[in-house]
Amino acid sequence: MSPTEHTAAAPPAALSAAQIDQALEHARRHQAPIEPLTTTYPGLDVAGAYAIQRVGLRRRLDAHGVVVGHKIGLTSAAMQRQLGVEEPDYGYLLADMILHDPGETPPSTSAAQFCQPRIEPEVAFRLAAPLGGPGITPGDVLAACDPIAPALEIVDIQDWRIALADTIADNASSAAVVLGPWIPLDQVTAPRELTAELI
C-alpha cells in the first residue's frame, strides 16, 4: 500500500530535523523521555514530522540498518477520531526491530529497554505481489498478500500526551515487533474478522 505522500517541510524552530532526530534517539538510547515535540515546537505539522522520520531512517540505514517492512498505524476509525485525523500514519520496520521470528529462540527483552512501552496486537501481512494506489481496497490488499501472521507490536512513546505529528516523527511510535507463525491466507477463516486478546 503506497502511503500518502507528504511534502517535506522544515521543523518550525531553530533546530533542524537532524537535531530533533538526535534528541529522539538520545531519549530512546537512555530511556529518558522528552516532552512531546508538538509542545516544544507548536508549529510542527505532519509534513515536518515525516521530514524528521526520514532523517531518522537515513541515520539507521547509514549504520547498516535494513528495512524489512513497514508499519501502518491509526487504521481504526476510533483512533483517528481520538487524534482528530482522517488517514493512517506510517513508519518503517528494520531487521533489528524484529525481536522474534517463528522457529527462532525468543531473545530476552526487558521493558527497561524502552521509554514507555505498550503492547498492541496486530496482523502482519507479507506481500506476494506488488500493491500500489490510490484507490486500494481491502480486497486488493488481501489479494496481494500471502501469508499473514499474528504479531505483537511494541509501541514506545516519549510522552503519552501526544498529537499526530509526535508519533509520526518518532517512527509512528514503533519500537519492535514479535512475529508469530506465518499462515497461508487460504487457511485463515474470515481474515477481515480476526480479533486478538492479550492474556
Q: Where are the domains of the chain?
A: 17-185
Kindly list the distances between the CA atom of residue 14 and the CA atoms of 40, 44, 117, in Å, as whole numbers in the listed order.
Answer: 11, 12, 30
Is pLDDT of 131 > 90?
no
- Nearest CA to 32 out of 114, 131, 139 is that of 114
pLDDT per residue as tens digits for the range 153-184: 999 987 777 889 999 999 999 999 999 899 99
Across residues 4-16, what is the average pLDDT?
Answer: 52
Give the count of beta carbons closer than 10 Å to the beta carbon of residue 29. 9
pLDDT per residue as tens digits for the range 137-148: 988 988 898 899
Q: What is the pLDDT of residue 56?
A: 96
Q: What is the pLDDT of residue 108?
A: 65
Q: Collect all residues with Cβ–Cβ distance below 8 Å to 93 and sequence separation of at least 6.
A: 67, 68, 69, 70, 71, 174, 177
Which CATH code is given to the segment(s) 17-185?
Answer: 3.90.850.10
**pLDDT band (50, 70, 90) for residue 107:** low
Q: Collect all residues with Cβ–Cβ distance below 8 Å to 139 and sequence separation of at least 6.
A: none
